Amino acid sequence: MTYQETITYLYNSAPLFQNIGQGAYKEGLSNTHALDTHFGHPHRKFRTLHVAGTNGKGSCSHTLAAVLQSAGYKVGLYTSPHLVDFRERIRVNGQMIDEQFVIDFVAHHRSFFEPLHPSFFELTTAMAFHYFAQQEVDVAVIEVGLGGRLDCTNIISPDLTIITNISFDHVGFLGDTLAKIASEKAGIIKPHTPVIIGEHNEETRPVFEAEAASKQAPITFAQDTPLYIKKESDTDHDIYYATPCGHLRAQLRGYCQEKNVNTLLHAIGVLIDAGYNISREAVHEGFAHVCQLTGLMGRWQQLNDTPRLICDTGHNIGGFQYIVPQLLAQPCRELRIVFGMVNDKDINAVLALMPRHATYYFTQASVARALPCHELQALASKHGLLGTTYPTVAEATRAALTEADKEDFIYVGGSSFIVADLLSDWHDIKSE
């Protein structure tokens, strides 16, 4: 099979969560352990860092990887979902997994894994660990897929565990209270392994404290000790933080990144205490060039100058609590929002936050979970949000660009998959 045929095979033979949601989720780790045994326990051949949380875990994972790369380590990075190319999920020093490795992985091992009927994420996790072992990485940053306790990444024994924050998302799997969700994510805490909690509240803190105590795991609540002061910048392109590492220039500009910076500074301190050789220069380089070093996309990413067009993968109430104030702070003549969501989110809670004075372009991503744009428009109208529907993200974005004045601001988001469609079609959209 060619690479594209192999990817099509994977999508068709193993349920893909981003396409079908709950039907792709397989509870338990039996398939994971079977795959791990088949490949000779590859995750034991390199050091790992484990990152969970409702929001921010992708940005934290990429930034950690960028800092470690800058410090001279050979770094594996496993994240999800991908935006344009499946291979984004599995990287070594920022370079995507080789197409030939993906082809050979399926060709050589399908006779073993097909009878197991693994989920797409189970199979992808096994591929990542196998690839990292073959590439002889020094350390791999592993992002949890969903939850934590029963996530198939949870077979690793990391040097450090990070849980960024807890808010409502995937409540059908993880529970309908913050304490229940925290309990699932706390399932990645390992015996005698340091754990950093980025943000907490009165519901979640006792859950983390109890789990850490039961595992005798040293726990740090980063929120209790801010290690940064945000500095005003001359332009929106330069965000600075005064930190124990000096003045950091941060490439990631979303409002939510402030909390991530604090979490990461605590994490870096723990890693240094654990023997990692991370210089101040490596920290500066990682924060300043995370996108170039790791290939990170879709985090308050600017694609166009006049009019300014920004896309962001925020997709739940926790994310939009930061996105909406940042939208309202943009200096512009008119705010235009290309917007779509998937059908298993708390859509009304997000719509209740969205700016009423904006012009909306309601659309839908090219995945089965996408909420049809006409249904989204109807829900939005109940919140005073008015606009026109478009069947694709490309058509919605073209309309926004055509109607926009050069002093307008265009935001594209609501779902990772809206951003994925935008990035996939951006060259064609821009060239028209």
pLDDT at 277: 98
Query: Which strands form 160-163's sheet, in the order they lie side by side?
Result: 95-96, 90-92, 75-78, 139-143, 47-52, 160-163, 195-197, 219-221
Residue whose tokens read 């197409």: 99
Convert the pLDDT of each residue in 220-231 to its tens digit: 999 999 999 887
Q: Where are the beta strands (DSSP E) in 95-218?
A: 95-96, 139-143, 160-163, 195-197
Calculate Rg over the CA atoms of the chain.
21
Q: CATH second-level architecture of 301-431? A: Alpha-Beta Complex (3.90)
3-state DSSP helix/strand/coil percent for the chain, to nearest 5?
Answer: 45, 15, 40
pLDDT at 19: 46
Convert the pLDDT of each residue in 16-37 to its tens digit: 544 444 444 456 789 999 999 9
Do the two domains 3-294 and 301-431 of this chain adopt the same fold?
A: no
Walk along the chain (432 residues) and give the pLDDT tens digit of each residue.
999 999 999 988 775 544 444 444 456 789 999 999 999 999 999 999 999 998 999 999 999 999 999 999 999 999 999 999 999 999 999 999 999 999 999 999 999 999 988 888 999 999 999 999 999 999 999 999 887 888 999 999 999 999 999 886 545 456 578 998 999 999 999 999 999 999 999 999 999 999 999 999 999 999 999 999 887 665 556 788 999 888 999 999 999 999 999 999 999 999 999 999 999 999 999 999 999 999 999 999 999 999 999 999 998 998 999 999 999 999 999 999 999 999 988 899 999 999 999 999 999 999 988 999 999 999 999 999 999 999 999 999 999 999 999 999 999 999 999 999 999 999 999 876
Q: Is 363 helix (H, G, I), strand (E, B) or coil?
A: coil
pLDDT at 95: 98
Instruction: Confirm if 110 and 17 have CB atoms less than 8 A apart.
Output: no
Tokens of residue 12, six digits: 């068709």
- Give the domain ranges of the chain: 3-294, 301-431
Instruction: Confirm if 163 and 197 have CB atoms less than 8 A apart.
Output: yes
pLDDT at 235: 54
In this structure, the number of other CB atoms found within 10 A of the CB of residue 350 comes to 25
pLDDT at 197: 97
Residue whose tokens read 């991503």: 365
Q: Is 415 helix (H, G, I), strand (E, B) or coil?
A: coil
Measured distance CA(259)–CA(251) in Å, rounded: 14
Work out whether strand 219-221 and strand 308-312 pair parallel, antiparallel, or are unpaired. unpaired
The secondary structure of 130-156 as a DSSP string is HHHHHHT-SEEEEE-SSSSTT-TTTT-
Measured distance CA(36)–CA(162) in Å, rounded: 23
* CATH 3.40.1190.10 corresponds to the domain 3-294: yes
Residues 6 or more apart whose Cβ sits within 8 Å of residue 185: 52, 53, 54, 144, 147, 148, 149, 163, 166, 174
Measured distance CA(373)–CA(387) in Å, rounded: 11
Q: Smallest Cα–Cα separation from 53: which of 259, 278, 251? A: 259
Instruction: Confirm if 325 and 424 have CB atoms less than 8 A apart.
Output: no
Tokens of residue 197, six digits: 């909690």
pLDDT at 54: 87
pLDDT at 382: 97
Q: Is 382 helix (H, G, I), strand (E, B) or coil?
A: coil
Q: Positive or negative, the Cα torsion across 244, 246, 252, 255?
A: positive
Q: Is 372 helix (H, G, I), strand (E, B) or coil?
A: coil
pLDDT at 26: 53
